[in-house]
Amino acid sequence: MGYIELNVLNNQSSLAMGIDLGTTNSLAAVWRDGRPVILHPEGKSGSVPSVVHFPADGSQPKVGREGRDHAAAAPERTLFSVKRLMGRPAADVQGELARIPFPTSEGDDGVLRLNIDGREFTPQELSALILNRVHDHGCRALNDEKPDRVVITVPAYFDDAQRQATRDAARFAGLDVLRIVNEPTAACLAYGLDQEKSGNVVVYDFGGGTFDVSVLSIADGVFKVLSTAGDTHLGGDDFDAALVGLIVEGLAGELSEEELKDPGFLTAARLSAERCKHALSKDPQAELHMVLAARGVTFHRTVTRAEFEALIEPLIERTIDSCRRALSDAGLAPDEVNEVVMVGGSTRVPAVNAAVESFFGRIPHTELNPDEVVALGAAVQAHILIGGSRDMLLLDVIPLSLGLETVGGAVSKLVMRNSTIPCSVTEGFTTYADNQTGIDFHVVQGEREMVSDCRTLAKFQLKGIPPMPAGMARVAVRFHVDADGLLTVSAREESTGASTRVEVEPMSGLSDEEVERMLLSSVEHAEEDFAVRRAADLITEIGTMRTATERSLDGVREHLDRETLEDIEEALKAAEEATSADAERLQALRDELERATLPLAALLMDDVAKAALSGKRLEDV
Amino acid sequence: MASCPHCGAELETPLGCGACLSPLEVETSVDPFALFGLTPSFSIDGEELRTRHLKYSRWIHPDYFAADPELRALAEINTGLLNGALESLEEPLRRADHLLKVRGGPSESEVKDMPQAFLMEVLEWSEVLDEARAAEAGTPPREAAFKLKPSLDEERTARIQTITGLLEPLPESGSEALTTARRELNAVRYLDRALRELESLRLAEAEAR
């Protein structure tokens, strides 16, 4: 027994990886030699583009840098910013869907499906491909040590369904999620390492697809989040979209309305816009340039920084509005903030930096690479979680209130936004009719007063309440938000000895059974994919063998005995059917052909040897 | 005071032991005050409450028990209870609400008879706030609304003081003071709704600028 236990221990990596699963780029880090380090294979960047490309020949999807390399040539088969689709019903992401180059639909479970070459993918599965890629990328930097325990970051403002979707993606990727951590909180952890800081810190996290602002108070190694606010649909992608608008406007005369809406065209335009945006962070003006070779159309225009800033000003203003709300929730004035930390690629835009500096009246910190700081913080948290340190503690909050529907469609809030998690709250309810034996519960998330303005998380019924007069039943409803920010609800009737208990997992998303089923089917698919590839390889190989055999046979026919000749011709005839058989049958055909042609090969070898010895040119043999 | 079943040290909170740093099995129905090692009382030292919250978090937070699924689950439950208790106690209004509930006082919806004078007052603010909401930023109706804030704040403080007087010392179950306190509490809820409205108007005003 002891031997087996030892083995288990040996198999588990002593490391845990922190992964920043970003909208545009993803990154992994680990704790090594007393500090967090970004994982990058020798001579390569650690950053993995969050891009998935599906080759037209149906072969394995290309993920990361490789996927991105194919994007320009085949935008119509490439997916960007999958994170924006995570945990969202189709109705909430119509704008996003317009740029998705594949047909989409919504399952009965409310989860989006992308139909790619006849196979359905959920955003969770696509994210899993990216997670696998970034995990592999990181493992290569660890000499192939494979830490399967990971901490994954999400935007602080992600709701329950979006967090759940992220956790499911990790399950599809075969990773063991130690914790889901909020991105700005992770960033603060990375910044707080060097100095013995204490005071109030604002983390302004403007990434590719999401914006978050968190206010933290730091004292004695405890990082306590006071409040968080944000927008899960606001990011650098929107800056690109503003520039894409210029291209669309400029090409309106040359391309049809339909062509201008084509996802392939939009992706190509987006890539041009992104290049221009990056240049504008350094230079006062830049070129917005795009060539559509297939249509013989070229777009070219110079964009000044002032022009760009005017376009994105309303977007920046929305981030400042969130800062105001976060401060108001934390009960702080801008001048009570001791430090401001900048995180995310969009903070490289000078206008963003200027707006933040002017709102808080202080120069924000930009010492750490804004693209790396979240992954570094995730590695710190991973280190704490595997028992590496008790010096620090992160106390995070839930970004949006949780409640139940009450009379008239109003919301009764049980857990308020910005409550420290994990958090348990119990509230008492009762029956409103005589002999009522069941109560319906409708769990929602959001700040609005009415259920219709909030996001439905779950609906369930507590049954088995013993018949009694109205108002006599005592039903305790318990909300538990775990350390990942995920909610579990249970209800129990307490007035009689017999209590009923219902456990509810939020339903907006994949159920556990669905995840299991999809995990299984992806394994089956992987086998299927492998078989298809193997068959294709065999068909090619048999084809080459046939051609070679037929060509050589003519020259040496007279040197072969009749039996061998018949044997070869039989095998050749059989191989002709090698166009659509399954891999097993193909393998048999190939092996048979190889066996039958062995004497021929020997003869040829011999002939070649003879020719060489007699000074003949090989071609004459 | 109870002692730790593992190491025998005296316990400050039933949630866990500060000496051997382990979470302990606890009934989920334990009173929030007891979880913080405090005796139920309306007047509490907020700083002390927050200090204890951080201290206990460092003892029993699930982050420190990730390697052991059983301990982790217990730490998760206990920290959930600790944080839930902080939510009920930190803010005076919720603390009062909690005390009224455990003392068997009437619930929010059971006390509907607000004094006529107070209701007239509420109507007046509502009118001012309605007009401000309909008006543009920087206009006189908005200014008029913001002028309400000092008097609302003042009234809130006064009513919290009244509640303190009623709940300090804690009244007996079923006493009239509980009903009076609930009425005051309901009045503060009206005030808070107006103050929240003012805060969102202030944010909207800043956004417009």
Distance CA A182, CA A186 (A): 6
Statement to judge: residues B141 and B196 lie in one domain = yes
What integer pLDDT is reported at residue A360 of this predicted model? 95
List CB contacts (< 8 A) between B84 and chain A. 423-426
Yes or no: domain A13-236+311-395 corresponds to CATH 3.30.499.10? no
What integer pLDDT is reported at residue A529 of this predicted model? 60
**HSE value, Cβ hemisphere, 13 Å, CA-based, for B169:** 3
- CA-nearest residue to A177 within chain B is B66
User: Dihedral of the CA atoms A152, A238, A276, A21 (nearest 10)?
Assistant: 10
Most B-contacting residue of A313, A318, A395 (CB-CB within 10 A), to test interface: A395
Among the listed residues A20, A231, A237, A372, the single catalytic one is: A20
The answer on pLDDT for A613 being more than 70 is no
Phi-psi sector, A33: left (phi>0), alpha (psi -120 to 50), beta: left
Q: What percent of chain B has a predicted confidence (pLDDT) above 70?
A: 99
Using pLDDT thresholds of 50, 70 and 90, give the confidence band for residue A498. low
Residue pair A163/A486 in contact (Cβ under 8 Å)? The answer is: yes
Q: Does the residue B64 lie in any domain?
A: yes
What integer pLDDT is reported at residue B18 of this predicted model? 93
Cβ <8 Å between B54 and A483: no
Tokens matching residue B140 = 């006189």
The answer on pLDDT for A411 being more than 80 is yes
What integer pLDDT is reported at residue A499 of this predicted model? 59
List CB contacts (< 8 A) between B28 and chain A. 424, 426, 478
Give the 3-state secondary structure of residue A343: strand
Tokens matching residue A178 = 């130690």
Q: Does the residue B102 lie in any domain?
A: no
Tokens matching residue A431 = 């029956």
CATH topology of domain A237-310: Actin; Chain A, domain 4 (3.90.640)
Statement to judge: residues B68 and B23 lie in one domain = yes
Residue pair A477/A494 in contact (Cβ under 8 Å)? The answer is: no
Residue pair B57/A220 in contact (Cβ under 8 Å)? The answer is: no
Task: Name the amino acid, one letter, at A409.
Answer: G
Tokens matching residue B141 = 């109706």
Taking Cα atoms as reference points, which of A499, A481, A508 lies closest to residue A423? A481
Q: How far apart are the first and last CA of chain A?
A: 68
Distance CA A348, CA A353 (A): 7
3-state SS track over A218-243 = EECCEEEEEEEEEECCCCHHHHHHHH
Distance CA A202, CA A327 (A): 9
What integer pLDDT is reported at residue A458 of this predicted model? 82
Using pLDDT thresholds of 50, 70 and 90, give the confidence band for residue A90. confident
Q: What is the residue whose two structure tokens read 């994954």?
A: A152
- CA-nearest residue to A388 within chain B is B64
Tell me: the pLDDT tens digits for B158-186?
999 999 999 988 888 888 999 999 999 99
Statement to judge: residues B132 and B45 lie in one domain = no
Tell me: the pLDDT tens digits for B139-162?
999 999 999 999 999 999 999 999
Nearest by CB to B203, from A328, A384, A415: name it.
A328
Name beta bridge partners: B23. B16
Give the angle subtended at the CA of A100 by the CAs of A98 and A103, to the nearest 5°: 95
Task: Name the amino acid, one letter, at B95.
Answer: R
Q: Does the residue B98 lie in any domain?
A: no
What integer pLDDT is reported at residue A343 of this predicted model? 94
Q: Does the residue B3 lie in any domain?
A: no
* For range A165-194, the mean pLDDT: 90
Distance CA A177, CA A385 (A): 11
Among the listed residues A159, A160, A183, A274, the single catalytic one is: A183
Cβ <8 Å between B80 and A219: no
List CB contacts (< 8 A) between B203 and chain A. 321, 324-325, 328
Identify the domain boundary among B31, B62, B90: B90
Most B-contacting residue of A397, A420, A480 (CB-CB within 10 A), to test interface: A420
Cβ <8 Å between B76 and A483: yes
Give the angle subtended at the CA of B74 by the CAs of B72 and B75, to the nearest 5°: 65
Residue pair A188/A339 in contact (Cβ under 8 Å)? The answer is: no
Cβ <8 Å between A422 and B64: no
Among the listed residues A96, A125, A160, A205, the single catalytic one is: A205
Q: Which residue has the higher pLDDT, A30 or A506?
A: A30
Where helices occur in chain B by DSSP H, the ranges are 32-35, 46-60, 69-90, 92-102, 116-134, 140-167, 176-208
Ranked by mean pLDDT, the top range of A89-98, A498-507, A544-553, B119-128 is B119-128
**HSE value, Cβ hemisphere, 13 Å, CA-based, for A580:** 0
Rounded to a whole number of angstroms, the distance from the CA of A130 to the nearest CA of chain B is 26
Distance CA A229, CA A325 (A): 7
The answer on pLDDT for B17 being more than 90 is yes
* For range A76-104, the mean pLDDT: 88
What integer pLDDT is reported at residue B58 of this predicted model? 93
Nearest by CB to A395, from B57, B67, B76: name it.
B57
- Say if residue B169 is preceded by a cis peptide, omega within 30 of 0: yes
Q: Does the residue B63 lie in any domain?
A: yes
Residue A327 neighbours by CB under 8 Å, 6+ apart: A202, A215, A227, A333, A334, A337
Tell me: the pLDDT tens digits for A103-113?
999 888 888 99
The number of folded domains in chain B is 2
CATH number of the domain enclosing B149: 1.20.1280
Tell me: the pLDDT tens digits for B47-93?
999 999 999 999 999 999 988 889 999 999 999 999 999 999 999 99
Cβ <8 Å between A422 and B67: no
Q: What ranges do the domains of chain A cover? A: 13-236+311-395, 237-310, 402-508, 514-620
Lowest mean pLDDT, pick from A379-383, A404-408, B186-190: A404-408
Cβ <8 Å between A481 and B76: no
Cβ <8 Å between B54 and A220: yes
Yes or no: domain A402-508 corresponds to CATH 2.60.34.10? yes
What integer pLDDT is reported at residue A162 of this predicted model? 92
Cβ <8 Å between A423 and B62: no
Strand A199-206 relative to strand A211-219, pairing: antiparallel
Statement to judge: residues B82 and B115 lie in one domain = no
Among the listed residues A83, A212, A231, A237, the single catalytic one is: A83
What integer pLDDT is reported at residue A507 of this predicted model? 52
Using pLDDT thresholds of 50, 70 and 90, give the confidence band for residue A504. low
Tell me: the pLDDT tens digits for A573-598?
888 877 766 777 888 888 888 888 88
Residue pair A231/A175 in contact (Cβ under 8 Å)? The answer is: no
Nearest by CB to A393, from B58, B66, B67: name it.
B58
What integer pLDDT is reported at residue A519 of this predicted model? 63
| Domain limits for position B75 | 16-90
Statement to judge: residues B201 and B120 lie in one domain = yes
Q: What is the residue whose two structure tokens read 């219709």?
A: A452
* For range B119-135, the mean pLDDT: 91
Yes or no: domain A514-620 corresponds to CATH 1.20.1270.10? yes
DSSP string, A602-619: HHHHHHHHHHHHTT--GG
Distance CA A194, CA A455 (A): 40
**Per-chain mean pLDDT for chain B:** 91
**Per-chain mean pLDDT for chain A:** 85
CATH number of the domain enclosing B86: 1.10.287.110
Lowest mean pLDDT, pick from A52-56, A615-619, B124-128: A615-619
* C-alpha Rg value of chain A to the nearest Å: 31
Ranked by mean pLDDT, the top range of A240-249, A389-398, A528-537 is A240-249
Task: Name the amino acid, one letter, at A444.
Answer: V
- Examine domains A13-236+311-395 and A514-620 and report if their fold is the same: no
What integer pLDDT is reported at residue A284 of this predicted model? 95
A83 as an active site residue: the answer is yes
What integer pLDDT is reported at residue A621 of this predicted model? 42
Distance CA A283, CA A279 (A): 6
- Whether ipTM tops 0.85, in short, is yes
Residue pair A365/A339 in contact (Cβ under 8 Å)? The answer is: yes
**HSE value, Cβ hemisphere, 13 Å, CA-based, for A153:** 38
Distance CA B92, CA A244 (A): 52
